[in-house]
Amino acid sequence: MSSILTNTSAMVALQTMKSINKNMNATQSEISTGKTVASAKDNSAVWAISKVMESDVEGFKGISDSLALGSSTIAVARKASETVTSLLTSMKGKIVAAQEDNVDRAKIQTDILALKGQIESVVGAAQFNGLNLVDGSQSTVDILSSLDRSSGGVAASKITATAHDLSTGGYVANDVFASSTNGTISTNADTFVLSLDAAGGTDTIELQDGANAWAAGDKITMRIGDKTASYTISSSDIASGNNTVADLVAVGLKNSIDQLGIAGLTVDYDSGTVGTLSFTNAGTKDLAVSGQYKNAGAGGLGALSTIDVSTASGAATALGNIEGMLQTAIDSAADFGSVEKRIDIQADFVSELTDAMKAGIGSMVDADMEETSARLQALQVQQQLATQSLSIANQAPQNILSLFR
């Protein structure tokens, strides 16, 4: 049935054209924005996920900057530690040379003081953006390394780097080693040196009692041959009283020395005399024994101030002391190197993770331009056909006029 009031064909053609035009607009929007999901209206769920991921990507950009800053800061500290290690190694060579009697120890001491000054210069200059990790001003430093997202929210992860004290200041001389029965006490009462002859060499070391101002954190170190034992005084030791502290230190040192397993060496604790240790060498090699006190407030290399090779006994003491300080610098450089490597690995991971997240966002919201191009051409053809179809449908009522002629 034909009707001049209701043109059904025209309505169908018009609705088809509207649908084609709507798809055409959507396709053109994809072409202009490059996205299939450009707003929440397009796909609210996908759009929400993409925006969360985009915020994380932006956060990781800040983390990359933090890691770069942290890596530079640690690199400066590591280089300073390596330089100090090299300077201490040079100093050790001069101390070894001072063991010989036929040398000018005064000139060697001058060279050692020059090296000490250079160490102080290196430690003082080892800062990045005002942060120095080797002068004792810091204990730890946190470096932002990641953003961890979970169902409970977002948490920041950090890499904690431990600072190392390579300063030479803060050392306070203290009368810790009171006497030595047969050995030689150095001019500084806070250090000593003695020799235990093989096959029966004996000697006794006595620690000061109540006259000594012990403090928590003070460290007593003994070097026997090429091995080192130590004891650090705790707050509970201090609470027991000065006399008992000397006994506790003596027992602690004895246990530490016993654990070294030095062949032929016997260390006895004399409970009848406060803080006294007796050494007996029944081995086949002579043993050089030296001791050093480091107060809690001293820098990691504070004992440098006690090194004096101008005398034979001072040179012998310095040889034992330099080993501990050299190990401190080596440990510092190794620790910083390990942290720096970890930061660099994390920086590479964050970079790769950011790229992966960007790719993931793209797969959700980016338009497939090849498919979009093909769809656009098809819609253009459909649009032309729809226009032609609507034109034909609009001409249909005029054909009814021929029936009335």
Q: Which residue has the higher pLDDT, 181 or 37?
A: 37
pLDDT of 275 above 70: yes
Residue with tokens 């790229």: 355
* Mean pLDDT in residue range 287-296: 80
**Residue 111 pLDDT level (bands cut at 50, 70, 90):** very high
Q: Answer whether 152's CB lies under 8 Å from 266's CB.
A: no
CATH architecture of 47-168+333-357: Up-down Bundle (1.20)
Q: How much is the mean pLDDT over the chain?
A: 84
Q: Which residue has the higher pLDDT, 111 or 39?
A: 111
pLDDT of 67 above 70: yes
For residue range 128-169, what is the model confidence (pLDDT) as tens digits? 989 999 988 888 999 999 888 877 778 888 999 999 989 887
pLDDT of 185 above 70: no
> Burial letters for 10-22: b for 16+ Cβ neighbours within 10 Å, e otherwise?
beebbebbeebee
pLDDT of 210 above 60: no
Helix %, strand %, coil % of the chain (to 5): 55, 20, 25
Residue with tokens 């005002």: 130
**Residue 189 pLDDT level (bands cut at 50, 70, 90):** low
**Residue 79 pLDDT level (bands cut at 50, 70, 90):** very high
* Mean pLDDT in residue range 243-249: 80
* Mean pLDDT in residue range 309-333: 86
pLDDT of 89 above 90: yes
Q: Whole-angstrom Cα distance, residue 360 to residue 59?
A: 16
pLDDT of 298 above 80: no
Position 132 scores a pLDDT of: 94
Q: Whole-angstrom Cα distance, residue 228 to residue 359?
A: 56
Q: Enter the tokens of residue 296.
A: 């809690």
Q: Enter the tokens of residue 223.
A: 């070097």
Q: Where are the domains of the chain?
A: 47-168+333-357, 177-297
**Residue 176 pLDDT level (bands cut at 50, 70, 90):** confident
378: how many CB neighbours lie within 10 A of its CB? 13
Q: Give the residue ranges of DSSP H helices in 215-311.
A: 235-239, 242-258
pLDDT of 338 above 90: yes
Q: Comparing C-alpha atoms, which of 253, 254, 249 is closest to residue 266?
A: 254
pLDDT of 29 above 70: yes
Q: Whole-angstrom Cα distance, residue 320 to residue 95?
A: 10
Q: Which residue has the higher pLDDT, 171 or 10?
A: 10
Q: What percent of the chain has pLDDT over 90?
A: 27
Hey, which of 172-186, 200-214, 314-328, 391-405 has the most confident mean pLDDT? 314-328
pLDDT of 183 above 60: no
